Amino acid sequence: MLAMSSCLSHCRHHHQVRLHRGAGPDRPWPAAASFATPLRRRAARAHAMSAEAPPGVAPAEPGPGTATQAAILSEMVEDAAVWCAVHGLVVGDRENPRSGTVPGVGLVHAPVSLLPARFPTSFWKQALELAPLFNELVDRVSLDGEFLQESLSRQVLYSVWCSSDIHVELRFRLPPSTIDSQRIVCHAKLVTLNFKRNSVLCYLTKQVDDFTARLLEIHEKMMAINKKEDIRLGLHRSDYMLDSETNSLLQIELNTISTSFPGLGSLVSELHRNLLIQYGKVLGLDSERIPRNWASSQFADALARAWSEYNNDSAVVMMVVQPEERNMKTLAQVEAEGKINTDGTLVVDGRIVSVVYFRAGYSPNDYPSEAEWKARLLMEESSAIKCPSISYHLVGTKKIQQELAKPNVLERFLDNKEDIAKLRKSFAGLWSLDNEEIVKSAIEKPDLFVLKPQREGGGNNIYGHDLRDTLVKLQKEQGESLAAYILMQRIFPKASLTPLVRGGVCFEDLTISELGIYGGYLRNKDKVIVNNPSGYLMRTKVSSSNEGGVATGFAVLDSVYLTDE
């Protein structure tokens, strides 16, 4: 980060300046509170505190501070808050019970860093270059249904000693004999097997966590009817950190559903440009080094072009959201109001839907009843363009990320050796829990690993002693629990002192940052219409926190300041 200390004298990295109590280890900041007008200008008082970088974080570099910069900091906090209010860089206030239910009520500025994060230009260009490659990879992998099914279902061989004669009936599903717009009817074949006493019965079973199993069930039904998705729309985000130990850009994860913050992320870039236009000269910073961020407009353009490809002027784009949001549809509403016409057209509340954009559906909490699952299946069966389709959704799971990192797997989907090398260079170490040696290493040295479940939305990863305890428990339980996690190499980013603003309050802390590059992809049959990087998201969190979700309260929104380092 651009380290502008608010100390009145020179401040080393083991000193912190806090204008307010910040976040502790694995603890989000206090919920944002409405700020008074005019804002109180808070003088920064330095006090010595231990700010040693925690495990997984490289030490920070010292940052100089002056009384002039302290005064500037105070002015910038107020200017930033006003700019956020004027330009819509706001979020709902969780402390206000009417927020989210009454339009315009209970809004506060989004949590932001006061200055952009330093990021080397060479790694920035590398991240942009990877975006269209990951877009194409997602599309290619999504077409291989067998790969998705096999990779996401952990197969286990069981052997049973038969101490007496056993009579077994096995029912195999055959291809569907009857298909219509409402249901699939499958016949089954019954096979009877007899096992004599003192023989061994061996059988394979698939093990997968319940949530992924339900997604796979929908995917399998689409495979059974040979469902074609001629128009394919993907709005992705690939997240990276700079590893200080290897000096390399490593991928954290690839998101294919509900890629958050293209709108607010774009605004933060403009906020920082505006602040540096005003204060950059005295700070020695150039606003032109903040790259333009067109994420919101490029996402909107991709959705509009997908709507155009559907070629029905009366059709609408439908946003599927979580409850208590407005002007959109929840999964339950889609199930209650939706139907599919005989030609495959999706109709919801009497309106033809050309594009379905999922802002919900990535978490088990989004499916509290069978109605939500029926809605998801209904949309998949329709001819509407899904963003993402069930296959794109599955490609974004942690397990597929781990499978793609295995030797020779990328070659299954891509032909260009240079592209394969570029993608593989960004992969961190990834392992399944079937790898006993890696699991043993993770138990012995948990600070070198992250245990990641098949979940999206932040706040789910497991670290340190919790990682060790969870692995020991999973080893004892065996079963489907092992299939619900992967192990990942822990990345060691460099920490920096950063002024952060939340709820109108500014404080300084050691932070690390994570860069997300959005990617837009649109294909109609063999014609690729869109395949490009589509803006970026920078998130910064206190280095003592393992998690990094903005919505979950662990991080703030940020932007990029390109450097020649």
Q: Is residue 489 part of an annotated ligand binding site?
A: yes
The answer for residues whose C-beta is within 8 angstroms of residue 242's C-beta and 6 or more apart is 119, 120, 123, 248, 249, 250, 493, 494
Q: Is residue 237 part of an annotated ligand binding site?
A: yes
Q: Is residue 221 part of an annotated ligand binding site?
A: no
Out of 5, 238, 255, 496, the active site residue is 255
Q: Is residue 547 part of an annotated ligand binding site?
A: yes
Pairwise CA distance, residues 138 & 533, whole Å: 14
Q: What is the DSSP letter of 359?
A: S
Pairwise CA distance, residues 95 & 442, whole Å: 40
Out of 253, 309, 403, 480, the active site residue is 253
Pairwise CA distance, residues 271 & 418, whole Å: 38
Strands (E), 219-267: 231-243, 248-255
Q: Is residue 454 part of an annotated ligand binding site?
A: yes
Out of 18, 227, 232, 237, the active site residue is 237
> Across the chain, which distance is largest between two alpha carbons, in Å?
89
Helix, strand and coil in the chain, % to nearest 5: 35, 30, 35
Out of 289, 399, 452, 523, the active site residue is 452
Q: Is residue 514 part of an annotated ligand binding site?
A: yes
Out of 273, 398, 468, 502, the active site residue is 398
Q: Is residue 63 part of an annotated ligand binding site?
A: no
Q: Is residue 398 part of an annotated ligand binding site?
A: yes
Pairwise CA distance, residues 564 & 40, whole Å: 37
Structure tokens at 513: 């940052």
Out of 457, 481, 532, 549, the active site residue is 457
Q: How many CB atoms lie within 10 A of CB 405?
A: 20
260 among known catalytic residues: yes
Structure tokens at 265: 């992320």
234 among known catalytic residues: no
452 among known catalytic residues: yes
User: 121-142 vs 417-425: helix axis angle to the nearest 10?
Assistant: 110
Q: Is residue 78 part of an annotated ligand binding site?
A: no
Q: Is residue 541 part of an annotated ligand binding site?
A: yes
Out of 260, 354, 426, 496, the active site residue is 260
214 among known catalytic residues: no
Strands (E), 331-438: 338-340, 346-348, 351-358, 385-387, 430-432
Q: How many CB atoms lie within 10 A of CB 271?
A: 26
Structure tokens at 42: 């808070």
Q: Is 538 helix (H, G, I), strand (E, B) or coil?
A: strand
Out of 380, 403, 456, 508, the active site residue is 456
Write phi, then psi, for 171 (nearest 5 degrees).
-110, 115
Q: Is residue 490 part of an annotated ligand binding site?
A: yes
Q: What is the DSSP letter of 448?
A: G
Q: Give the H/E segment covering residue 468.
A: helix 464-477
Q: Is residue 463 part of an annotated ligand binding site?
A: yes
Q: Is residue 488 part of an annotated ligand binding site?
A: yes
255 among known catalytic residues: yes
Structure tokens at 257: 């559903």
Out of 504, 539, 545, 553, the active site residue is 539
Structure tokens at 193: 């097997």
539 among known catalytic residues: yes
Write the secondary structure of 277-338 as one string of H (helix), E (strand) and C (coil). Answer: HHHHHHHCCCHHHCCCCCHHHHHHHHHHHHHHHHCCCCCEEEEEECCCCCCCEEHHHHHHHE
Quickly list DSSP for 54-99. PTT-BPPPPB-B-HHHHHHHHHHHHHHHHHHHHHT-EEE-TT-TTT
Instruction: Count CA within 13 A, CB hemisphere, residue 353.
Output: 30
Nearest to 268 by CA among 564, 555, 565: 555
435 among known catalytic residues: no
**Could you tell me which residues are annotated as the binding site for ATP?**
253, 398, 452-461, 463, 488-491, 514, 541, 547
Annotated binding site: 237, 253, 255, 398, 452-461, 463, 488-491, 514, 539, 541, 547
Write out the binding residues for Mg(2+).
Answer: 253, 255, 456
Active site (catalytic) residues:
237, 253, 255, 260, 398, 452, 456-457, 539
Binding site feature residues for substrate: 237, 539
